[in-house]
Amino acid sequence: MSYFGVIHDFQPSCLRAGGLQHSILTLPLGGDYVLNHITVALHRAGCTDLTIVPAFEPDRDYADRLHEIDGRASCRVLTPSDRAEPECHGEASDTILLIDPRYWPVTGYDLSAVRDEHAAHAGAVFATCRGDRGTPALEQVVTDASGNVRRVQRIFDRMAWSNAESSIVPFCVLPQGLSRHGLTFPLAVTRGQLAARGVPVRDVPLESPVVCLSDEDGVLCLATGYARGVRVDDGACVPTSVRMIGDVMVNRDAHVGEGATIIGPTVIGRGATVGSGCIIAHSVIADRTVVVSGMHIHQRVYAGMGDRRPADNETPRLTPAAPDDTFQLIAGGRSIDPLLTRRRRRLLAVKRAGDVAVSLVGLAVLFPLMALTALLVKLTSPGPVLFVHRREGRDGREFGCAKFRTMRSDAHHMQRELAGQNEVDGPQFAIRNDPRVTRLGSMLRKTNIDELPQLWSVLIGDMSLVGPRPSPFRENQVCAPWRRARLSVRPGITGLWQICRHDRDGGDFHQWIYYDTAYVRNMSFRLDVKIIFYTFVSLGGTRPVAIENVIGRHALRRKAWTPTTPKPPSDGLPEPVTVRDRSPRIVG
């Protein structure tokens, strides 16, 4: 049995201008193109042949352009005259790996899961994206004809499978014989048609959010997300008078005129020409595109003079969060999962290695202190030494979060009686001079010694040294955008909220939301080191640290909340603005 790769190419409206025919496959992505990234994934899956089927009428240079990008003789472009023929030449037992590049998994194409599922079970297998990774349910908002919300419907995991036809399907595996029945895009429709004909259909949930490349915002999101630092390829001409700020990538044979200014994240395609005095900001200039002198281009995918322009009454769009490597909390309240670029994956790998090393050393060095603490807890109050509570970690997976017990064994029942004395907002419960806290427990809390057992959770991968505070399921239901951001990373023993909150005893739920999302948006190895440093300097958060000292004023999207400044809005998101929400459409 052989595997054949089939990619259906599409043309977003933002790429339909200019003399050169551009498409999703010809989009620059890092030093390569979208086509290169997909073909590498197909090779890893064992594909021996590749066919590209454009969903538009290709010009005479289209096939040569793809061959120039891919560089493999086995890459075949199906022209209109060929479409009556089977898409792959092979036996009925052969298999097609079909790719719809409009839906890009931000963690990259991993075709092994659908390939293995197909090998184990006959029939068609579809990679399906339908909601948050790791969450047990979907929530659908039901509106009336006027757009008013009528109800929120929750679809739990078992029920969600029947809802797959409305899902996003970036790729699938089909037996060769099924391709002769014709395929319909999007692939979710093909899935429904095959199931209606009695073909065995299986779904594999896609463990990644998906960027939609069918519009300009998705293209910007993906292409600029791979621009890191200033990079000028061989053959590119960039005079010394050109100013390049931020993450800028100038690809091979591009030419930038005198006095131009390029503000990142920006990608200049191969062979593109940027005239003198131009200002290019947060944009993608397609290959071989000419930008005439003096033009100003802001947050656009520019493919030529015929490019669509906003109407006179159309307000400017927001600048995306591409430099931060995460696309979340765009103004207007939209929450976007992190874009897991190569840089972010390296960061997570380094972060995990540091967690393992520090937790091992910490457990070894602090073992005598932990043993003494356990003995004192046992001797001073009845009950277990450790308090273990179920908390949600990365992707919503629950784990047992352990601390040295600092309260009476009947503290949970006492909380119901004390509910009327709660002094904090949100889902938290806290009162000053809490009668449930033991005398030893009060000392353990002030010194943060009660947190030391969490080093074991760090070692086994449930937690990290630095991250949002681990919270139970109930607390995470209060604010959906906050939940989605904080559950995209591992919770931490210490974090931005722990060291920056102005009231350690009382706390403020709005601060909690703000600092958690600020950490996720600006996460870096340097930030983790600074948080650990300030954890010691502030004696475990007993002395609040200004957020500007930790993240840096230039990196903050707005001024941090302090007791002398206005509170953040009730949802913990940036203040509403009067521009349109043009955040990239990301599913999952």
Computed over every residue of the chain, the mean pLDDT equals: 76
Rounded-to-integer distance, Cα 460 and Cα 277, Å:
55
Residues 59 and 187 in one domain: yes
Average the pLDDT over 259-276 and give the result: 92
Of 411, 404, 416, 415, nearest to 380 by C-alpha is 404
Residues 370 and 503 in one domain: yes
The length of the chain in residues reads 588
Return the SS3 of 399: strand
Where does a domain end: 184, 212, 240? 212
Cβ atoms of residues 390 and 442 within 8 Å: no
Q: Name the β-bridge partners of 314.
A: none
337 found inside a domain: no
Where does a domain end: 212, 239, 265? 212
Q: Lowest mean pLDDT: which of 138-147, 253-262, 336-345, 495-504?
A: 336-345
Residues 532 and 562 in one domain: yes
Residue with the larger pLDDT of the pair 410 and 230: 230
User: What CATH number does the domain containing 305 carry?
Assistant: 2.160.10
Residues 397 and 419 in one domain: yes
Residues 248 and 307 in one domain: yes
550 found inside a domain: yes
Containing 67, the helix (H) or strand (E) segment is helix 62-70
Average the pLDDT over 233-247 and give the result: 90
Cβ atoms of residues 125 and 182 within 8 Å: no
The first and second tokens of residue 421, run together, are 């004395």
How many domains does one find in the chain? Answer: 3
The dihedral sign for the CA sequence 154, 158, 162, 166: positive
Q: What is the pLDDT of residues 56-91, one digit of tens each?
A: 888 888 888 888 887 654 577 876 556 544 445 555
CA distances from 192 to 7, 169, 198, 291 (A): 20, 12, 10, 45
139 found inside a domain: no
Cβ atoms of residues 295 and 273 within 8 Å: no
Residues 306 and 383 in one domain: no
Locate all alpha helices (DSSP H) within 149-186, ordered by sequence. Answer: 157-160
Residues 268 and 231 in one domain: yes
The first and second tokens of residue 301, run together, are 């995918």
379 found inside a domain: yes
The pLDDT, as a whole number, for residue 1 is 61
Checking if the pLDDT of 565 tops 50, the result is no
Checking if the pLDDT of 570 tops 80, the result is no
Cβ atoms of residues 497 and 557 within 8 Å: no
Q: Which amino acid would we find at residue 138?
A: L
Laid out side by side, the sheet with 75-77 consists of 75-77, 47-54, 3-9, 95-99, 168-175, 124-129, 201-205
Phi-psi region of 403 (alpha: psi -120 to 50; beta: other; left: phi over 0): beta
Q: Lowest mean pLDDT: which of 27-31, 269-273, 375-379?
A: 27-31
CA distances from 69 to 15, 19, 233, 286 (A): 17, 18, 16, 14
The pLDDT, as a whole number, for residue 74 is 58
Locate all alpha helices (DSSP H) within 384-524, ordered by sequence. Answer: 411-417, 439-447, 454-459, 480-486, 496-500, 509-521
Rounded-to-integer distance, Cα 466 and Cα 531, Å:
7
The pLDDT, as a whole number, for residue 539 is 81
pLDDT winner (highest mean) among 62-71, 209-218, 294-303, 513-522? 294-303
Locate all alpha helices (DSSP H) within 197-297, ordered by sequence. Answer: 216-225
The pLDDT, as a whole number, for residue 532 is 93
Phi-psi region of 156 (alpha: psi -120 to 50; beta: other; left: phi over 0): beta
Long-range contacts of 384-389 (CB under 8 A, 24+ apart): 384/409, 386/453, 389/472
Average the pLDDT over 261-280 and give the result: 92
Residues 511 and 556 in one domain: yes
**DSSP E strand boundaries for 351-428:** 386-392, 398-404
Of 365, 582, 334, nearest to 482 by C-alpha is 334
Q: How far from each other are the two terminal CA atoms of the chain, in whole angstroms?
A: 33
582 found inside a domain: no
Of 216, 221, 223, nearest to 307 by C-alpha is 216
Return the SS3 of 150: strand
Residues 390 and 309 in one domain: no
**DSSP E strand boundaries for 345-463:** 386-392, 398-404
Those residues whose C-beta lies under 8 Å from the C-beta of residue 230, and which sit 6 or more positions away, are 244, 247, 248, 264
Q: Which phi and psi angles does 426 have, rounded to 5°?
A: 70, -160
Expressed as residue numbers, the domain containing 564 is 342-576
Of 560, 9, 34, 561, nearest to 284 by C-alpha is 34
Q: Using DSSP bridges, classify how beta strands 273-274 and 255-256 pair: parallel, antiparallel or unpaired.
A: parallel
8 found inside a domain: yes
DSSP single-letter state for residue 441: H
Where does a domain end: 150, 181, 212? 212
The pLDDT, as a whole number, for residue 268 is 93
Rounded-to-integer distance, Cα 331 and Cα 319, Å:
10
CA dihedral 513, 515, 520, 526 (to 10 degrees): -170
Residues 119 and 187 in one domain: yes
How many helices and strands (H and E) does the chain possess?
15, 30
145 found inside a domain: no
Q: What is the pLDDT of residues 359-416, one digit of tens each?
A: 999 999 999 999 999 999 999 989 899 999 899 988 788 899 999 999 888 777 777 7
Residues 283 and 303 in one domain: yes
Q: Lowest mean pLDDT: which of 235-249, 268-282, 321-335?
A: 321-335
Residues 231 and 204 in one domain: no
Rounded-to-integer distance, Cα 115 and Cα 106, Å:
19
Of 102, 87, 53, nearest to 182 by C-alpha is 87
The pLDDT, as a whole number, for residue 351 is 92
User: What CATH number does the domain containing 176 carry?
Assistant: 3.90.550.10
Q: Which band of pLDDT confidence, cut at 50, 70 and 90, is reported for residue 123?
A: confident
**Helix, strand, coil abundance in the chain, percent, nearest 5:** 35, 20, 45
396 found inside a domain: yes
Phi-psi region of 333 (alpha: psi -120 to 50; beta: other; left: phi over 0): left
